[in-house]
């Protein structure tokens, strides 16, 4: 798993995310009907959030993607500010933008402001694809190297069960305020027996 460096790999990453998440109610409800490329624009913004935090990774076979960053090191940038405005006008519209802000505030009230926040994880799920195992192994190693938990949320029941299968635990669950689904809050604690590697730790903190 490596940081995404090229425009070609960025395009590939967004393609994977779009294919994996286009049926996710926790994502699609935000898009105002008739907004051409609205979903893709939303994914581009989430990708940019991860890139600013040096958390935009792709698996070695280029079939899996994870967007992740340390919550305590959240950064601000002019580009992200204008990106949010772009989302408001080109993706959600005013009404859904206000609803989205309320949902995000609700999530922030529940999710601890510490550890690693996994924005999105996805693979193209081709037969024989090892990307999912690589994502799990590398993301867990990254978090273990800083001795911090990983937090993520999902609105897909199938995915919340899949995350539990690979080592996450549900620590909260709420009804989605605007969709007929729930928001599951999951956490994966660092491995107690992880062997500390100072070089790897410093790389993860950059």
Antiparallel, parallel or unpaired: β 2-3 and 56-58: antiparallel
Residue 126 pLDDT: 54
| Average pLDDT of the chain to the nearest whole number | 85
Residue 195 pLDDT: 54
Residue ranges of the chain with per-residue pLDDT less than 70: 125-129, 192-206
- DSSP sequence for 102-171: HHHHHHHHHS-SSSEEEEEEEE---TT--HHHHHHHHHHHHHHHTT--EEEEES-HHHHHHHHHTT-EEE
Closest by alpha carbon to 74, among 43, 112, 122?
A: 112
Closest by alpha carbon to 122, among 154, 83, 76?
A: 154
Residue 95 pLDDT: 92
Residue 136 pLDDT: 84
Residue 151 pLDDT: 95
Q: Where are the domains of the chain?
A: 2-205
Residue 129 pLDDT: 60
For domain 2-205, give its CATH number from 3.90.226.10, 3.40.1800.10, 3.40.50.2000, 3.40.630.30: 3.40.630.30
pTM above 0.75, yes or no: yes
């Amino acid at each position: 798993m490596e940081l995404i460096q090229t425009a070609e790999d960025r395009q590939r990453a967004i393609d994977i995310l779009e294919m994996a998440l286009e049926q996710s109610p926790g994502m699609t409800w935000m898009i105002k009907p008739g907004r051409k490329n609205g979903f893709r624009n939303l994914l581009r913004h989430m990708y940019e959030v991860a890139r600013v935090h040096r958390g935009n990774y792709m698996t070695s076979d280029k079939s899996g993607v994870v967007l992740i960053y340390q919550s305590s090191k959240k950064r601000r940038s002019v580009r992200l500010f204008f990106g949010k405005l772009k989302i408001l006008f080109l993706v959600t519209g005013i009404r859904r933008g206000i609803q989205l802000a309320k949902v995000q505030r609700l999530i922030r009230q529940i999710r601890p402001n510490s550890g690693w926040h996994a924005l999105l994880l996805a693979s193209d799920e081709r037969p024989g694809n090892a990307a999912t195992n690589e994502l799990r192994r590398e993301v867990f190693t990254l978090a273990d190297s800083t001795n911090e938990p990983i937090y993520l949320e999902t609105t897909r029941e199938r995915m919340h069960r899949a995350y539990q299968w690979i080592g996450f635990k549900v620590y909260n669950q709420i009804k989605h305020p605007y969709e007929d689904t729930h928001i599951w809050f999951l956490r994966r604690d660092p491995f107690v027996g992880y062997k500390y590697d100072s070089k790897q730790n410093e790389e993860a903190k950059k």
